[in-house]
């Protein structure tokens, strides 16, 4: 067997940054004062904040050492289900850093911002084409923010029809952000169980859909990694009662060039540029969550909108039915540049291939590991597959133990304990950018860990042993919170 | 395509394991009627060098490509970014990691954000800061929602009309659908919030005041706090210029319950307004009401210090429809950037930079006055101020941009219709006396 990537090596301890502080140090060369001092009234001024005092190398070494305790996509395979941890192309970073983009002031005026506006306009068009919609807004700052925008659009649509509704249907496979976004619109969540095949049954939707229900929030492919095969019928049922269908496009990576959600009858769809369109997750953001809508819903999109008049681009806010503004300026433009560069680098065929290979990788893992781990829904999957710990339970080994042991083998673990419909879920999303060789190594690691679960379970319960710290006491952290130094 | 590693041989072998004969077969569960028939109508792929040309052409359609002198702030500030900041933050271990759900291999992000939270509490004089929000406007809207949740009998938030106009629009967007209202408090002729207007209002859950306000003036936060206390409502403050706290008395010292701020000034490029950095801080009492992620310190099984995401029972992935917010991804990498910036400038640097911003703004105001502008207000300010311009300024301003790449102030009329011919100017440590003198000469 080939050697696993995880090994031990020299890393460095590093204290909190203020512990390195020495009075009098400063890591910036202060600019020469070329105007007179203008002291403010002392009644208005306070003491300078007690920030650390360091030299430039102190700062560089501090953050270099911290970075070495982290695991990123560039470090190794990161098969975190539902998060789409694909390779983040480096050229995208170069494009976003261009002075004309990074230095652009948001209030410089349309005439002096034609390049940024053109890029936004074209990106909206590309995303509309990929998803099958008439209009797109790039303003939402992240996926959950896009969801909120989408739900606000549905809310505004019903208000415009003259009768607000009070409920929204949310399947049990939904991301937690879905019900939380619905609540912000004042909608009560109606929980809907998925069927025995792990997908929604039209009859179940019909049974709860009524004229007081604003619509349904569907993730497709869903969080079990399965395509909602009855999506068209479900949309028809919801539409027949005057409702709208919200699509959570977090899993769009599986179906680019294969299906357009707009064609399936979904009315509003959000995308995560930081999942499907390769922009980095940054240890938790910034992301970007564009929203695509049908022709009928364009009037409700947030303002300002980017519009084209002849060959000039402008920002338009005069839209009487808009839900309003979602972001101080126009959204996360820096993230948009990277997604735009990705789409242009991939081209139509490249995007289709990305989806096909993402689905191939996931099915390959599913079929290679289903004799090792329990597979609650043994069906052809899309871009991810969900196992659980049912077989390891007899050795008192949990999903968490297997996840932690994978760290010692040099892999980031899959998503664990989500979706909630699978007890002890172990949700693997390899993405298309992992090669067969790396995936084979991952499969071998999981098989080896499953063997250890039988023969040497303490290797799992004690894991991880190689990272800088071992398992952390999360209970005490929450019971006696220490949130600052 | 260089990002896709599969050889034809790989594909064949992998398909065999899945029992399929072609990649198309993988999509058998999708009804044929839904499948896209003619492919995507998108431009053909570009090589990396074609992409470079295309992107540079787009970037050059922006005036920013040439480098320009920026006398505009209004929520996005032109500060110097030391070279080590982009260098360090682009380390891929930070940039290509996900949210630190597996803390054992995320200690870099976690310690970095813990330090960020600590430095933000120092900066603002508050007990607790979150791991970040999208921007100031969305953080402020979240603060409004907290106030409304804490006071179920109230259905309104009072917001100063000198809070950034975009932020007020965001609050309105967030509040409307749940049936809440934003009521606007006007300003005095001195350009400060007319706090006396609040006294007669009922059904208010919180008061939001920005300082320095949109006109750049330093608000009387002590007076605002007094009125908020007399009404028994939450006192929310906001700011768009984080470096002001290097010089000014912080909002915590005035008894703010919640603070929402924009952290773009802390080492983050303007980037056409985003991504910036939403700062959100509160008192200990409101700890469990705060939205989004928090990093806490704990121990591992060997008794070594370490960090984890904590108090997640507030959050959407646990609480679902009862969560304190729907936020999931925040602006983590920009929070890390801000921590790096604050460590770099340190206690000495932040004071000096803040003072320089103020000094330059005072100088700019005085030479513009000599050049025929009229100060619109006479109030203490940090690095922004409002001037009434001479009649021919609009045209001169356009010429200055075209001829000298110099942006001379922001026209306030679109934001405050009564302020025709009024411009909001900003001076940061980046503008030189020579540039300011040139501006004054050109507009005189």
Task: Choose the final residue of a domain: B284, B316, B341.
Answer: B341
Mean pLDDT of A343-366: 98
Pick B271's closest partner by Cβ from A101, A327, A432. A101
Stretch (H or E) spanning B160: strand B156-160
Distance CA A143, CA A250 (A): 7
pLDDT at B167 over 70: yes
* C-alpha closest to that of B439 among B361, B340, B351, B327: B361
Q: Would you list the DSSP string of A378-406?
A: -S--SS-EEEBSTTTGGGT--HHHHHHHH
Burial of B37: CB neighbours in 10 Å, binned 0-12, 13-18, 19+: exposed
Q: How does pLDDT run across A107-157, given as a tens digit for each residue?
A: 999 999 999 999 999 999 999 999 999 999 999 999 999 999 999 999 999
Is B193 within a domain? yes
Pick A412's closest partner by Cβ from B58, B68, B105. B105
Q: What are the DSSP E strand ranges found in B197-343?
A: 204-210, 234-239, 258-262, 278-282, 295-299, 305-309
pLDDT at A1 over 60: no
Token pair for B407: 């942006």
Chain A: give the shortest CA distance to residue B148, in Å. 12
Task: Note whether B295 and B309 are same-domain residues.
Answer: yes
Q: How does pLDDT run across B222-246, given as a tens digit for each residue?
A: 999 999 999 999 999 999 999 999 9
Confidence of residue A2 (pLDDT cuts 50, 70, 90): low
Quick one: closest CA in A to B5, which residue?
A435
pLDDT of residue B66: 75
What's the structural domain count of chain B?
A: 2
pLDDT of residue B319: 79
Is B332 within a domain? yes
Is B269 within a domain? yes
- What end-to-end distance do the CA atoms of chain B give, in Å? 58
Task: Note whether B74 and B99 are same-domain residues.
Answer: no
Token pair for B384: 């922004």
For the domain that residue B406 is a member of, what is the CATH number? 3.90.1150.10
Distance CA A244, CA B18 (A): 37
Pairing type for strands B410-411 and B406-407 reads: unpaired
Stretch (H or E) spanning A278: none
Pairing type for strands B305-309 and B295-299 reads: antiparallel
Mean pLDDT of A31-40: 94
Distance CA A144, CA A153 (A): 14
For the domain that residue B195 is a member of, what is the CATH number? 3.40.640.10
Chain B: give the shortest CA distance to residue A174, in Å. 10
Which chain A positions have a beta carbon within 8 Å of B6's beta carbon? 357, 360, 435-436
Q: Cα A208 to the chain's mean position, in Å?
A: 30
Q: How does pLDDT run across A188-222, given as a tens digit for each residue?
A: 999 999 999 999 999 999 999 999 999 999 999 99
Task: Note whether B406 and B374 are same-domain residues.
Answer: yes
Mean pLDDT computed over every residue of chain A: 96
Q: How does pLDDT run across B147-158, given as a tens digit for each residue?
A: 999 999 999 999
Residue B323 contacts residue A276 (beta carbons within 8 Å) = no
Q: A92-344 belongs to which CATH class? A: alpha beta
Task: Choose the final residue of a domain: B277, B306, B341.
Answer: B341
- Positive or negative: CA dihedral A296, A301, A303, A307: negative
Task: Note whether B312 and B351 are same-domain residues.
Answer: no
Rg of chain B over Cα atoms, rounded to whole angstroms, equals 25
Distance CA B134, CA B107 (A): 23
- Positive or negative: CA dihedral B427, B433, B438, B443: positive
Distance CA A444, CA A2 (A): 9
Distance CA B143, CA B151 (A): 13
Pairing type for strands B258-262 and B234-239 reads: parallel
Residue A196 contacts residue A166 (beta carbons within 8 Å) = no
Task: Note whether B278 and B354 are same-domain residues.
Answer: no
Q: What is the ipTM of this complex?
A: 0.97
Mean pLDDT of B133-145: 98
Mean pLDDT computed over every residue of chain B: 96
Task: Note whether B329 and B428 are same-domain residues.
Answer: no
Q: How many CB atoms lie within 10 A of CB A113?
A: 25
Task: Please state the three-class secondary structure of B131-142 as a single string.
Answer: CCECCHHHHHHH
Task: Note whether B390 and B410 are same-domain residues.
Answer: yes
Distance CA B427, CA B444 (A): 18
Mean pLDDT of A176-198: 92
The contacts of residue A102 (CB under 8 Å, 6+ apart) are A96, A334, B64, B269, B270, B271
pLDDT of residue B9: 98
* Cβ distance of B1 and A350 shorter than 8 Å: yes
Mean pLDDT of A175-199: 92
Q: Cα A66 to the chain's mean position, in Å?
A: 24
Burial of B434: CB neighbours in 10 Å, binned 0-12, 13-18, 19+: exposed
Confidence of residue A42 (pLDDT cuts 50, 70, 90): very high
Task: Note whether B395 and B413 are same-domain residues.
Answer: yes
Residue A408 contacts residue A464 (beta carbons within 8 Å) = yes
* C-alpha closest to that of A330 among B275, B409, B265: B275
* Cβ distance of B42 and A368 shorter than 8 Å: no
Contacts of B168-172 with CB under 8 Å at 24 or more apart are B169/A324, B169/A325, B169/B137, B170/A324, B170/A325, B170/A326, B170/A327, B170/A328, B170/B137, B170/B138, B170/B140, B170/B141, B171/B137, B171/B140, B171/B141, B171/B144, B171/B208, B172/A324, B172/A325
Task: Please state the three-class secondary structure of B267-304 as a single string.
Answer: CCCCHHHCCCCEEEEECHHHHHHCCCCCEEEEEECCCC
Q: What are the backbone dihedrals phi and psi of residue B227, each rounded to the nearest 5 degrees, phi first?
A: -70, -40
Distance CA B76, CA A63 (A): 26
Task: Note whether B372 and B304 are same-domain residues.
Answer: no
pLDDT of residue A31: 85
Distance CA B69, CA B356 (A): 17
Mean pLDDT of B23-29: 97
Task: Note whether B362 and B334 are same-domain residues.
Answer: no
Q: Which CATH architecture has domain A347-475?
A: Alpha-Beta Complex (3.90)
Domain with CATH 3.90.1150.10 in chain A: 347-475
- What end-to-end distance do the CA atoms of chain A give, in Å? 46
pLDDT of residue B183: 97
Q: Confirm or reject contact between B369 and chain A (CB < 8 A).
A: no
Pick B310's closest partner by Cβ from A104, A188, A477. A477
pLDDT of residue B320: 80
Burial B115-151 (b: 16+ CB within 10 A, else e): bbbbbbbbbbbbbbbbbbbbbbbbbbbbbbbbbbebb
CA distances from A464 to A283, A401, B45 (A): 21, 9, 43
Residues, chain A, total? 485
Looking at the DSSP bridge assignments, the partners of residue B299 are: B305
Stretch (H or E) spanning A483: none
Q: Confirm or reject contact between B172 and chain A (CB < 8 A).
A: yes
Helix axes B433-443, B393-404, angle to 10 degrees: 130
* Cβ distance of A98 and B249 shorter than 8 Å: no
Domain with CATH 3.40.640.10 in chain A: 92-344
Quick one: closest CA in B to A191, which residue?
B321
pLDDT of residue A176: 83
Residue-range definition of the domain harbouring residue B387: 63-81+346-443
Q: Confirm or reject contact between B288 and chain A (CB < 8 A).
A: no
Task: Choose the final residue of a domain: B311, B341, B371.
Answer: B341
Q: How does pLDDT run across B356-394, given as a tens digit for each residue?
A: 999 999 999 999 999 999 999 999 999 999 999 999 999
Percent over 70 (pLDDT), chain A: 100
* C-alpha closest to that of A64 among A27, A25, A11: A11
Residues 333-362 of B with CB under 8 A from A: 333-334, 336, 339-340, 342-353, 355-356, 358-360, 362
pLDDT of residue A190: 95
* Cβ distance of B343 and A52 shorter than 8 Å: yes
Q: Would you list the DSSP string of B80-111?
A: ---THHHHHHT-HHHHT--SSSSGGGBHHHHH
Contacts of A421-424 with CB under 8 Å at 24 or more apart are A421/A172, A421/A173, A421/A194, A421/A198, A421/A224, A422/A224, A422/A376, A422/A386, A422/A388, A423/A388, A423/A390, A424/A388, A424/A389, A424/A390, A424/A393, A424/A398, A424/A399
Which chain A positions have a beta carbon within 8 Å of B35's beta carbon? 258-259
pLDDT of residue A32: 86
Looking at the DSSP bridge assignments, the partners of residue B34 are: none
Looking at the DSSP bridge assignments, the partners of residue B210 are: B238
The contacts of residue B303 (CB under 8 Å, 6+ apart) are none
pLDDT at A53 over 70: yes
Task: Note whether B270 and B370 are same-domain residues.
Answer: no
Is B32 within a domain? no
Mean pLDDT of B297-301: 98
């Amino acid at each position: 067997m080939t050697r696993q990537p995880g090994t031990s090596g020299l890393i460095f301890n590093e204290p909190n940054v203020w512990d390195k502080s020495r009075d009098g140090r400063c890591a910036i060369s202060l600019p020469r004062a070329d105007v007179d001092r203008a002291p403010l009234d002392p009644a208005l001024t306070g003491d300078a904040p007690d920030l650390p005092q360091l030299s430039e190398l102190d700062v560089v070494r501090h953050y270099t050492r911290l970075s070495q305790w982290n695991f990123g996509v560039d470090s190794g395979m990161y098969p975190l289900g539902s998060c789409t941890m694909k390779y983040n192309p480096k050229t995208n970073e170069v494009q976003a850093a261009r002075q004309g983009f990074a230095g652009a002031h948001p209030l410089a005026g349309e005439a002096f911002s034609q390049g940024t506006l053109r890029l936004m306009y074209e990106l909206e068009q590309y995303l509309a084409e990929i998803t099958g919609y008439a209009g797109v807004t790039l303003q939402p700052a992240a996926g959950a923010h896009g969801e909120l925008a989408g739900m606000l659009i549905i809310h505004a649509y019903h208000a415009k029809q003259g009768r607000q509704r009070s409920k929204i249907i949310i399947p049990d496979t939904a991301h937690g952000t879905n019900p939380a976004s619905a609540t912000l619109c004042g909608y009560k969540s109606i929980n809907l169980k998925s069927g025995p095949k792990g997908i929604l049954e039209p009859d179940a939707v019909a049974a709860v859909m009524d004229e007081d229900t604003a619509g349904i929030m569907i993730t497709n492919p869903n969080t079990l990694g399965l395509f909602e095969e009855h999506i068209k019928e479900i949309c028809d049922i919801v539409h027949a009662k005057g409702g709208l269908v919200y699509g959570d496009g977090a899993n769009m990576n599986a179906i680019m060039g294969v299906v357009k959600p707009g064609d399936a009858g979904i009315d509003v769809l959000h995308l995560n540029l930081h999942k499907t369109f390769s922009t980095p997750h940054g240890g938790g953001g910034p992301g970007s969550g564009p929203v695509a809508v049908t022709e009928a819903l364009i009037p409700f999109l947030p303002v300002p909108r980017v519009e084209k008049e002849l060959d000039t681009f402008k920002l338009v806010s005069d839209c009487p039915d808009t839900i309003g503004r979602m972001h101080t300026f126009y959204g996360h433009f820096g993230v948009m540049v990277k997604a735009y560069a990705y789409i242009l680098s991939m081209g139509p065929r490249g995007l289709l291939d990305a989806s096909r290979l993402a689905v191939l990788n996931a099915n390959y893992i599913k079929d290679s590991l289903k004799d090792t781990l329990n597979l609650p829904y043994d069906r052809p999957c899309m871009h991810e597959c969900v196992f659980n710990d049912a077989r390891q339970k007899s050795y008192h080994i949990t999903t968490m133990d297997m996840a932690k042991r994978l760290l010692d083998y040099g892999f980031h673990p899959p998503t664990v304990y989500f979706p909630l419909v699978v007890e002890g879920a172990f949700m693997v999303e390899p993405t298309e950018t992992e090669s067969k060789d790396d995936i084979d190594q991952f499969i071998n690691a999981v098989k080896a860990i499953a063997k250890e679960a039988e023969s040497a379970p303490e290797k799992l319960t004690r894991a991880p042993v190689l990272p800088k710290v071992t398992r952390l006491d999360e209970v005490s952290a929450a019971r006696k919170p220490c949130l600052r130094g | 395509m260089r990002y896709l590693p599969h050889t034809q041989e790989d594909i064949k072998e992998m398909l065999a394991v899945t029992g399929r004969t072609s990649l198309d077969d993988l999509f058998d569960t999708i009804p044929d009627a839904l499948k896209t028939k003619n492919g995507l109508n998108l431009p053909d792929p570009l090589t990396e060098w074609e992409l470079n040309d295309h992107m540079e052409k787009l970037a050059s359609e922006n005036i920013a490509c040439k480098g320009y002198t920026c006398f505009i702030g209004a929520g996005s500030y032109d500060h110097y970014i030391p070279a080590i900041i982009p260098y360090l933050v682009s380390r891929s271990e930070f940039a290509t990691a996900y949210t630190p759900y597996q803390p054992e291999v995320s200690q870099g992000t976690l310690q970095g954000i813990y330090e960020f939270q600590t430095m933000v509490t120092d900066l603002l004089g508050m007990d607790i800061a979150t791991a970040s929000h999208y921007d100031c406007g969305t953080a402020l809207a979240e603060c409004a929602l907290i106030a409304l949740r804490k006071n179920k009998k109230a259905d309104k938030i009072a917001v100063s009309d000198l809070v950034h106009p975009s932020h007020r629009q965001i609050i309105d967007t967030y509040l409307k659908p749940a049936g809440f209202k934003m009521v606007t408090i006007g300003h005095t002729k001195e350009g400060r919030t007319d706090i006396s207007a609040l006294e007669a209002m009922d059904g208010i859950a919180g008061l939001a005041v920005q300082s320095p306000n949109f006109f750049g003036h330093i608000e009387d936060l002590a007076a605002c706090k007094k009125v908020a206390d007399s009404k028994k409502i939450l006192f929310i403050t906001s700011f768009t210029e984080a470096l002001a706290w290097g010089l000014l008395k912080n909002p915590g010292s005035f008894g703010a319950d919640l603070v929402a701020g924009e952290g773009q000034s802390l080492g983050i490029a303007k980037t056409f307004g985003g991504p910036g950095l939403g700062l959100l801080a509160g008192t200990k009492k409101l700890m469990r009401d705060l939205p989004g992620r928090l990093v806490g310190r704990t121990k591992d099984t060997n008794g070594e210090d370490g960090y984890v995401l904590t108090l997640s029972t507030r959050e959407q992935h646990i609480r679902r429809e009862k969560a304190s917010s729907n936020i999931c991804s925040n602006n983590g990498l920009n929070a890390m950037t801000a921590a790096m910036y604050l460590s770099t400038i340190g206690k000495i640097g932040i004071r000096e930079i803040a003072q320089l911003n103020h000094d330059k703004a005072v100088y700019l105001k005085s030479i513009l006055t000599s050049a025929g502008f009229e100060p619109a207000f006479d109030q203490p300010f940090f690095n922004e101020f409002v001037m009434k311009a001479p009649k021919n300024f609009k045209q001169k301003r356009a010429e200055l941009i075209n001829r000298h790449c110099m942006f001379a102030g922001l026209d306030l009329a679109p934001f405050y219709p009564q302020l025709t011919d009024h411009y909001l100017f900003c001076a940061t440590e980046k503008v030189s006396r020579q540039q300011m003198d040139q501006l004054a000469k050109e507009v005189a």
